[in-house]
Structure 1
Amino acid sequence: MIPAAFDYARPQTVDEAVLALADGGDEAKVLAGGQSLIPILRLRLAFPELLVDVGRIPELRGVREDAAAGSLVIGAMTTHHDVIHDPLVRRHAGLLAAAAETVADPAVRHRGTLGGSLSHADPAGDLPAVLLALDGELVAAGPQGRRTIPAAEFFTDYLQTALRPDELLVEVRVPKTENWGFHYEKFNLSAQAWAVVGVAALVRRDDGHLAESRIGLTNMGTTPLRASATEEALAGADADPAAVARAAEAAAEGTRPASDLSASREYREHLARVLTRRAVLAAAGME
């Protein structure tokens, strides 16, 4: 199908983009890689009056270290492909690189962007749950300046975020986790399909114990979620497969997965338990 008519702006700077969004009000949409927005426009599921194309803003791309904060700063327009292959990401935030490698197919990974994926906020997307597990932060620019939003507060509902209509996501900040084991495990019905369920696991071992774990869940509710009950059960547990299996039984607690054509609610809860066990074992080096 052909999208409905809209105006088009291509700003060259973040400030210009913020001004364009402010002028467009609630009827403006940001165009990043377009891998989520363009299909919605073609199906006429969205009718923006203005598209603000941020693809020509150089400061929105790239990865750098913030040594003082102990984190990586990733431009919102950095593509999945660049995230996967960036040496800083692979060294300091390996979970993000590993999960990005599972996104869709090579064509999408070359065009799709980290910020676009997070702003779209699809609970079946791989990267929102990963950012949640990483305790990441998102930086938005608006008419009143910039503000930092913790990942735990960024995803508010299905396809909804804490971004205001006149704000642009400019960068993503993730703490360095090079001393943590990591693994992203997901089940999907075909290689390019959305995850039926996914699990992003980070595990820090200490003297034969699992000192700390962080577990993000994909497609187990209207937003990405943390498997808090499993994280609590694993804290200080022996690095033993049986202990991990017991803790993983609590992975679906507090979740609200949907029943749809891909899976029932009960099956998704089962997958959360199975995939959490696998992800934690792999992250802890026990597989």
Structure 2
Amino acid sequence: MIPAAFDYTRPTSVDDAVRALADGGEDAKVLAGGQSLIPMLRLRFAVPTTLVDLGAVDAMRGIHDDGDALVIGAMTTHDDVMKSSLVQEHAPLIAQATATVADRQVRHLGTFGGSLAHADPAGDLPSVASALDASFEVAGPSGRRSVPASEFFVDYLTTAMEPDELLVSVRVPKLTGWGTHYEKFNRMAQAWAMVGVAAAVRRSNGDIAEARVALTNMGPTPIRAHAVEEAMVGAPAEQGALQAAAERAGEGTSPTGDVSASAEYRAHLATVLTRRALQAAATSR
């Protein structure tokens, strides 16, 4: 199918992009890597009046060290994020999850910010951002503001951004020295996650001092598994304790059933994958 007609603009600065988005009205759309938007345009699931292409906004690319955190530009490609030495050292969970996103072609074109702003509950990166307590720098006509991950994802394909706002960068607190792992189950390579688990664990004297766990595709937004996190604190990094904590993965979730899996099967997967993710995170550095 051929997309409906739309106006096209390619700004070169964040301010120009915000202005173009505001001028385009509520039906304007932002184009980042295009890996989600272009198929929707072709199927006419999205019918924008104006397309604001961010490909020339260089200020929104790159990764830099900002003391106790990394700042990742929204237009940084998945491939650049995955291969970044800063990310691998200070936020390895992001690199681990990004390596599972689609295929090489998509990772070379798709963007870190685009995936997060799309807010698909089956996407891998929203749960990772949630587990890492990331914050999102959003720009709009009224200026810039920071939105924590706990407030950014509002509903299915819906974020806290207004129609005239765009995601500029993501601030990720460093978890240097933590063990991390992203565990994902899908029917075939390159497919969306049927269920995924992002886990980060800090050990002290052999026991778990702190844990962060977030679930992919167990509700309309990424879900922090607070019950699992609480069960992990003070527990030994042993199979029995990890299994007991993983059994609480389904608490507070609302998985749906579809052609890929029933809600009950997703709940089962959440327990199994959480145990695997915790085991891998607790034994890695």
Q: Is TM-score (shorter-chain normalized) higher than 0.5?
A: yes
Partners of 1:272 and 1:239 lie apart in 2 by 19
5+ unaligned residues in a row in structure 1: which ranges?
A: none
Q: Corresponding residue for 1:60?
A: 60
Q: Letter of the 1:3 partner, please give it.
A: P
> RMSD across aligned C-alpha pairs, in angstroms?
0.7
Q: Where in structure 2 are the equivalents of 1:35-74 lying within 5 Å?
A: 35-67=35-67, 70-74=68-72
User: Shift of the alpha carbon at 1:239?
Assistant: 1.6
Question: In the alignment, residue 33 of structure 2 is paired with which amino acid?
Answer: G
Secondary structure of the residue that 2:26 maps to in structure 1? helix
1:182 maps to 180
Determine the structure 2 residue equivalent to 1:24: 24
Distance 2:177 2:256 in 1: 35
Task: Tell me, in whole angstroms, the C-alpha distance in 2 between the residues paired with 1:267 and 1:2.
Answer: 37
Q: Specify the alignment match of 1:235 in structure 2.
A: 233
**CA offset at residue 180 of structure 1?**
0.6
Distance 1:238 1:91 in 2: 25
Aligned to 1:279: 277
- 1:143, CA displacement in angstroms? 0.9
2:95 is the alignment partner of 1:97: yes
Distance 2:159 2:42 in 1: 23
Residue 247 of structure 1 is matched in structure 2 by 245
In the TM superposition, residue 187 of structure 1 has moved relative to its aligned partner by: 0.3
SS at match of 2:254: coil
Q: Residues of 1 paired with 2:70 and 2:206: CA distance? A: 29
Q: Deviations over 1:207-266 (max 9, x none)?
A: 111011000100000000011111111111112110010110000111000100000000
Partner of 1:157: 155
Amino acid at match of 2:29: K
Identity of aligned residues (%): 65
Cα distance in 2 for partners of 1:233, 1:109 equals: 35
Report deviation, 1:178.
1.3
Matched residue SS, 2:25:
helix
- TM-aligned CA deviation for residue 46 of structure 1: 1.1
1:225 to 223, 226, 250: 223
- Aligned residue type for 1:245: Q
Q: Which residue of 2 aligns with 1:83?
A: 81
Q: Where does the alignment leave 5 or more consecutive residues of structure 2 unmatched?
A: none
Partner of 2:192: 194
1-side partners of 2:214 and 2:81: how far apart?
Answer: 19
Q: Give the aligned residue type for 1:141.
A: A
Output one character per residue of 1:43-92: Cα deviation in whole Å (capped at 9) or x when no partner. 1111110000000011000000111xx00000000000000111111110
Which residue of structure 2 lines up, in the alignment, with residue 13 of structure 1?
13
Aligned twin of 1:213: 211
2:134 alignment partner, one of 130, 133, 136: 136
Q: Deviations over 1:8-52 (max 9, x none)?
A: 010010000000011112110000000000000101111110000
In the alignment, the residues of structure 2 paired with residue 215 and residue 182 of structure 1 have an alpha-carbon distance, to the nearest angstrom, of 10
The letter for the 2-side match of 1:54 is L
Deviation per CA, 1:86-132: give whole Å up to 9, x if none: 11111100000110000000000000000000000000000000000
**Structure 2 counterpart of 1:46, one-letter code:** A
Give distance in 1, aligned partners of 2:254 and 2:142.
36
The AA in structure 1 aligned to 2:200 is: L
TM-superposed CA distance for 1:179, in Å, is: 1.4
Distance 1:239 1:223 in 2: 29
